[in-house]
Chains A and B, each alone.
Chain A
Amino acid sequence: MTIAPEKHEVAVPTKQWQGQSVPRKEDKRLTQGQGVYVDDVKRHGMGYLHFVRSPYAHAHITSIDVSAAEKLKGVYGTLTGEEVASLTDPFFQLASPPGAHVKDYALAVGKVRYVGEPIVAVVAETRELARDASELVEVEYEPLEAIVDARVALDDAKPVLHEDSGSNLMWNGLYEWGSWDEAVAEADKIVKIEELHFHRFNSTPLETDGAVVEFNRGVGQWTIFTNNQFPGFAQIMMGPAMRVGLDKLRFVTQDIGGGFGNKITSHPQLTVCCLLARKLNRPINWTEWRTDFHMSMSHGNERWFHDTEIAVKSDGTLLGFKTKALDDAGAYLRYEPLGGVIWAQVTPGMYRWKHISLDFTQVATNKAPCSPNRGYSRMQHLWFTERMIDIVARELELDPVEVRKRNYVRADEMPYTTPNGCVYDSGDYAKMLDVALDLIGWDGIEQRRAEAKERGKLLGVGIGSTLDSGTNNFGQSRMINPELQFSGNNEVATVKLDIFGEIVVTLGTTPQGQGHETTAAQVVADILGCSVDDVHVRSGHDSYWNSHAGFSGTYASQFAVTGLGAVKGATDMLAEQIKRLGSVILGGVPEDQLELAEGSVRIKGNPEAALPFMACGAIINANNAGLPEDLDVTLNCRYVYRPPFEVPDLERKYGNLTLTYATQIHAAVVEVDPETGYYEIVDYAATDDCGVRINPQIVEGQVMGATAQALGAVQHEAYEYDDDGNLLTPNFYDYHVPHALDMPPLETGYIETPSPFTPLGTKGMGEGGGAGIHAVCAALQDATGATVWDSWNPYKRVWEHLNRPRQIVEVVDA
């Protein structure tokens, strides 16, 4: 019935589109190289931007001379920090003091604070020439001592990165719920862990950051073609800094080559592009080189946990814990110190702890700035939680499975309110654990351990349980700064019926492979009674489409709730309007006697009396004379989904911080070579519960991808720095991401516990991969007997576990 340019030959489901593994609408273009990624956008006269970057981790800039670069034929111009400081204000800081005093500009002003920090931007007619010309920029430095270890950042003898902040302390907050004294009073044992460390890495999307920016001088507006995944955030950072209203910053995305949170904080570079597009009066292309990305973008938060104490009964009942978290933010705050509160979404992990005390301190160091990375800040905390479980189990000589089952929040307790006021919506953790254990063959594991031993191998098995909290309540940001005026969340969709009956959907989101075009079409097709082939979902984001709101973007596990909630809302509105119109055209038949089916509105029980969508679209858009005056029908519906949230209680740091809690339980079996520390993951299971699955195949794809990233992170990937602050892993030679030959055998399983709080029973998902890190750490502990104290366990570290295990655990009677 509609003009549908892309027919997929999708089989029509018997019941509904939701719940089916519908092939993705995106795939036809992406398998033919017809995607449009940011570097594919070309403009006449476009100049290519290259950044001159700091070779020092910490230094005063004493002089900058761009004259030789500017004289080179084919160079269009440059931009320096000095110009940036006069043309813009420092970016708004989320932090309360002392972090609030950090002055962060789009280019370094007066000082550099990490190797790779952009100092000057050079624009030339080719990529190669821009790179050559940047070599001609003369910068002189006075080097300072670099701080690469967060543990010494607050020493008085150490230099201060941001003088305006007074010290390297960026943020500190004490979180206390329940009563530690009560926990101790009830406990039989206190297990003490001196130090645990979650390492620095990120998801390294294969496409690096980039933009093509053009300036329309007549209206003073920039169009920013980019792969930034959270335009709402970039806009509110850039507008005030550039002293322009947000309407002057038009963000456009289409296909994005992976994001994983790493593409949220490109606003400094986008600002440079904007300033140069205006200064040079030409479009600017900025495409990061791989090394640029590794040196300067979006490292995941590195975190230490010191002086941990766990109050536990002899039978393994967990009562409480306390710890000091020390978070290394790198050189600038950008999205930080939000990591200082985001972890609190999953404060007790999946367990029924009642008494929790966590003293969170974030410091600046001379390393690349941190920003969200898949599992942002919760992954660090959940790894810590899982480490506690396995260390307690070992010290008390209890079975880690039993300790988990004894302490997991139970299915019959859902929805469960955590000690800090978060509401876990649904789940059955114990059942999922059984599924995972079954998939790795838990029952025969002791026999396999014996067999491995005969072959000279140490077999270990480990469990990683994780929550993927989704749909943020941005009110939690006020816990790190009460002055912030953020709360709640929102997402937008528009759905319209056009002249020839085309159903056109726009989203405020910026998908990076999550298949939004497909899942949105499934929801629309079910409500309108048509095929997914009839639903055209526009690709990407354009802030000119009026389909975005302050929190629009694709991040933090929320599309299935916020994005599809908006799609459902807008489509429900459209369905209602179609019926209202149908009622008029079909001679006043009451709307409740109408139904939408087969691409038409028709009288129930009389399919012959039908008005096709094509006629509806034509009447409203192009043939509307004579319609009743009071018929308020546009067939162009916009809906803003707003989840039900309250502003948290800031005094008690109490409230519901996210709407949904998807669950992952992973189990790993490893075999370690005791001579070398080399190990292999010989069996692996990943189970997932994200409530109702709109497209099971897409959900499973996310589970697999997140698992692979976790396995890369725990085995290989790390942003390591030397003592002078040089990054040792600035490319894919040194930063080893998993390859085809690295992948272990994988079994996946799932259960579905629908969320009672969301429009479709869905939960946000996609970030649950941290479970893989936890599971492998637990398995290595099981195999080696050593306390696995770091989230990064390359073979050399496992050799250390075997030969020089750290003695960092002590058990005392309570």
Chain B
Amino acid sequence: MSDHSITVTVNGVEYEREVEARKLLIHFVRDDLDLTGSHIGCDTGNCGACSMIVDGTLVKSCMMLAVQADGATVETVEGLADGDELTPLQQSFSEHHALQCGYCTPGMLISATALLRANPSPSEEEIRKALQGNICRCTGYWNIFEAVKAVAK
């Protein structure tokens, strides 16, 4: 298996690493960069726990190779808060009890963040559509819709 040198900027920090060509972006970020906030729930692109924003586009990072991210700018859940200051969306998730075990939460927050950037005032229908690629097994989603609605303009 051949190794490739890649440079990826994650949450504003530039990383240069050697990776196997077949390594998934999610494994690269979790195992090589030790950014374990993004999770893996399915391996098939269904669950969205590994969602990241790559060059401004929402992606499931288990569906992308690390080498494809060479030169890219990546945002993960660790990059949302400003130091200890939670974003309004993170705060809203807590206030609305939009998380229980927290395993899907990083991906859910990233998907909702991408939605709100593209559409700052989404309807509930638009929120549901935007989050349909993120599975949550704890909440039944209802409180997640409320949390996103509360920060929509």
Contact = CB atoms under 8 A, between A and B. Distances in A.
A23 B139 contact: no
Interface string A733-775: 1000111110100100000000000000000000000000000
- Chain A interface SS verdict (over half): loop
Contacts of A415: none
B146 to A, nearest CB: 11
A26 B137 contact: no
A705 B138 contact: yes
Given A33-B76, A257-B39, A705 B44 contact: no
Contact of B137 (A255, A256, A258): A258
Interface string A511-530: 01111000000000000000
A256 B139 CA distance: 15
Contact of B90 (A32, A733, A737, A739): A32
Contact of A732 (B46, B99, B109, B138): B46
B97 A697 contact: yes
B49 interface: yes
B99 A704 contact: no
Contacts of B101: 205-207, 255-259, 512-513
A731 B44 CA distance: 8
Nearest to A515: B100
Interface string B130-153: 011111111111111100000000
Nearest to A41: B36
B38 interface: yes
A583 interface: no
A457 interface: no
A708 B36 contact: no
A214 B48 CA distance: 31
Interface centre among B43, B91, B137 (most CB of A within 10 A): B137
Contacts of B91: 31
Interface string A687-715: 00000000001101100110111000000
Contact of B140 (A40, A127, A257, A707): A707
A40 B36 contact: yes
Interface in A24-59: 24, 26-37, 39-40, 42
Contacts of B4: none
Nearest to A512: B101
B135 A739 contact: yes
B95 A708 contact: no
A24 B23 CA distance: 36
B27 A704 contact: no
Contacts, number: 176
A563 B124 CA distance: 38
A739 B44 contact: no
Contact of B77 (A27, A32, A704, A746): A32
Interface centre among A512, A705, A708 (most CB of B within 10 A): A705
B102 A26 contact: yes
A701 B143 contact: yes
A42 to B, nearest CB: 7
A740 B134 contact: yes
Interface string A335-379: 000000000000000000000000000000000000000000000
A259 B101 CA distance: 9
A738 B132 contact: no
Interface residues of B, number: 60
B19 to A, nearest CB: 11
Contacts of A36: 36
A740 B93 contact: no
A40 B65 CA distance: 20
A33 B38 contact: yes
Given A37-B39, A290-B44, A701-B139, A30 B105 contact: yes
B148 to A, nearest CB: 10
B22 to A, nearest CB: 6
A32 B94 contact: no
Given A207-B103, A740-B132, A733 B109 contact: no
A204 interface: yes
A317 interface: no
Interface in B5-35: 20, 22-23, 27, 30-31, 34-35
Contact of A746 (B31, B134, B142): B142
Interface centre among B37, B140, B141 (most CB of A within 10 A): B140
A789 B137 CA distance: 27
A545 interface: no
B36 A33 contact: yes
Contacts of B46: 731-733
Nearest to A294: B42
B23 A128 contact: yes
B121 to A, nearest CB: 18
A42 B34 CA distance: 9
A205 B139 CA distance: 12
Contacts of B27: 127
A700 B131 contact: no
Nearest to A700: B97
Contacts of B37: 32-35
Given A206-B103, A701-B97, A733-B46, A741 B138 contact: no
A740 B128 CA distance: 5
B80 interface: yes
Contact of B99 (A31, A259, A737): A31
A739 B132 CA distance: 5
Contacts of A544: none
Contact of A731 (B42, B109, B137, B140): B42
Interface of A: 21, 23-24, 26-37, 39-40, 42, 126-128, 203-208, 255-260, 289-291, 512-515, 697-698, 700-701, 704-705, 707-709, 731-733, 737-741, 743, 746
Q: Lowest 5 CB-CB distances: which A-B pairs, in order? A: A33-B37, A708-B140, A257-B103, A30-B102, A513-B100
Given A207-B39, A705-B139, A743-B128, 17 more contacts: A24-B94, A27-B99, A27-B102, A31-B99, A31-B109, A33-B37, A37-B36, A39-B36, A127-B27, A128-B1, A205-B101, A206-B41, A206-B137, A256-B101, A515-B100, A705-B137, A740-B131
25 contacts: A23-B94, A26-B102, A27-B94, A31-B86, A32-B77, A32-B80, A32-B81, A33-B37, A42-B34, A127-B31, A203-B137, A205-B101, A206-B41, A207-B103, A257-B101, A258-B137, A512-B101, A513-B101, A708-B137, A733-B44, A739-B132, A739-B135, A740-B131, A743-B140, A743-B141
